[in-house]
């Protein structure tokens, strides 16, 4: 095999680079989906310009657009900013110290809605099948939806009345007592 016959592979596309870096850093699949969405949106919003060719003005204009024109929630704004930070720091290797200075909207303070046991009983009584079982599991253990959907039968200990969450929030293992089912 001679040197002329060996061709260099084309550089991976930007979104593939983002995906690869996210997977390398072991971020969750949901984070990958969100970050890829925001990077794609950012590039499309700037008429398919390469992010390397953009400066502070272009990068700052995007979160301002989201806040002022689209009126996104504070958490959505923060997620989009995090995706841009990840893109520039981790994928493109560009440090943007001024991006930390961009104003972040304050989240609205909301009083959580807590149902009484009677209200929960009524709502669970209106459900049947798998949906009811899943709702009971979420209520009884305090699990998040994706944690419950990833649950395996070997994670349930019927003798001790416990559920072991192997890949819970933050990658930590948690044992939840089943007390309110």
Query: What does the pLDDT profile of the chain (181 residues) look like in tens digits?
Result: 555 555 667 778 999 999 999 999 999 999 999 999 999 999 999 999 999 888 878 888 998 899 889 989 888 999 999 999 899 989 999 877 776 667 667 777 778 788 888 999 999 999 999 999 889 888 887 888 888 888 888 878 778 777 776 655 555 566 666 664 4
Question: What CATH number is given for 11-101 in this structure?
Answer: 1.10.150.130
Cβ(143)–Cβ(155) under 8 Å? no
Q: What is the model's pTM? A: 0.64
Cβ(66)–Cβ(77) under 8 Å? yes
- CA–CA separation, 88 vs 180, rounded Å? 46
- Break the chain into its structural domains and give their ranges: 11-101, 117-177
Length of the chain (residues): 181
What is the number of alpha carbons within 13 Å of residue 16 lying toward its C-beta? 4
- Angle of CA points 155, 146, 150, to nearest 5°: 35
């Amino acid at each position: 095999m001679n040197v002329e016959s060996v061709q260099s592979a084309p550089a991976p596309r930007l979104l593939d680079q983002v995906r690869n870096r996210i997977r390398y850093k072991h971020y969750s699949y949901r984070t990958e989906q969100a970050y890829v969405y925001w990077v794609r949106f950012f590039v499309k919003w700037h008429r398919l310009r390469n992010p390397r060719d953009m400066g502070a003005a272009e990068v700052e204009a995007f979160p301002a657009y989201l806040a002022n024109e689209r009126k996104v929630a504070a958490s959505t704004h923060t997620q989009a900013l995090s995706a841009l930070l990840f893109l520039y720091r981790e994928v493109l290797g560009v440090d943007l110290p001024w991006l930390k200075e961009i104003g972040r909207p304050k989240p609205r303070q909301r009083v959580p809605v807590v149902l009484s046991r009677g209200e929960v009983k009524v709502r669970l009584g209106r459900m049947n099948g798998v949906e009811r079982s899943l709702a009971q599991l979420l209520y009884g253990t305090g699990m998040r939806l994706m944690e419950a959907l990833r649950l395996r039968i070997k994670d349930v200990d019927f003798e001790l009345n416990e559920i072991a969450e192997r890949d819970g929030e933050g990658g930590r293992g948690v044992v939840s007592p089943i007390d309110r089912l």
